[in-house]
Amino acid sequence: MSGRVTTGRAPAPAAPAAAAPPRLLPLLGLVLALAGLAVAAYLTVEHYTSPALLACPENSVINCRKVTTSPESVILGIPVVWLGVGFFVAMAALNLPAAWRSGNRSLRAGRLLLAVAGVGTALYLVYAELFEIDAICLYCTAVHVLSVLLFVLTAFGTAATSRPAALSG
């Protein structure tokens, strides 16, 4: 005898794996994150050099210099541009095809939570531009739009690739 106890029942089926992401999902997420990183990097260079480098008109409504040198351009002593760079670097890594194929719940939840944080930060910064600074930065607006698009992509992608809830029996 082999020492195994058999119950006569078939082994329980394995839990279903996360659905494979649509092929364009990781690519689109990566492109959006890299585009955001490029804009955030440009704003970072501008932050440490001269606002005169900004190719942005200065009028009553659109004024990148006013926005990027305002007190609201720093949160908890950290220039917002660095928060943007960190956000887009992390989102680029989390949008790699291998990350989307992973069934790791922590990775999937982290990607979604980071996307929520990104859109929340963007909403706060849009509020600050409109109601506190009274000026809009076109490059900042590009970052905000890219953050919202990454959130939408991440939310729908996460929903589309989530496992169905296990049936209780």
User: pLDDT digits over 87-122, tens only?
Assistant: 999 999 999 999 988 888 899 999 999 999 999 999
Q: Is residue 165 pLDDT above 60, yes or no? A: no
Q: Is residue 70 pLDDT above 80, yes or no? A: yes
How large a percentage of the chain has pLDDT more than 90? 54
pTM of the model: 0.81
The alpha carbon of 33 is separated from its chain's Cα centroid by a whole number of angstroms, namely 7
The C-alpha angle 14, 17, 19, rounded to 5 degrees, equals 150
As given in the structure block, the two tokens for residue 144 are: 């905000």
User: Which residue ranges form the domains of the chain, and what is each CATH number?
Assistant: 24-161 (1.20.1440.130)
| Average pLDDT along the chain | 84
User: pLDDT digits over 118-163, tens only?
Assistant: 999 999 999 999 999 999 999 999 999 999 999 999 999 988 887 6
Q: Is residue 16 pLDDT above 50, yes or no? A: no
Q: Please, which pLDDT band fits residue 166 given cuts at 50, 70 and 90?
A: very low
> What mean pLDDT do residues 37-65 have?
81
How large a percentage of the chain has pLDDT more than 70? 80
Helix/strand/coil for 50: coil
Task: Let me know: does 87 contact 93? Beta carbons within 8 Å.
Answer: no
d(CA 60, CA 57): 10
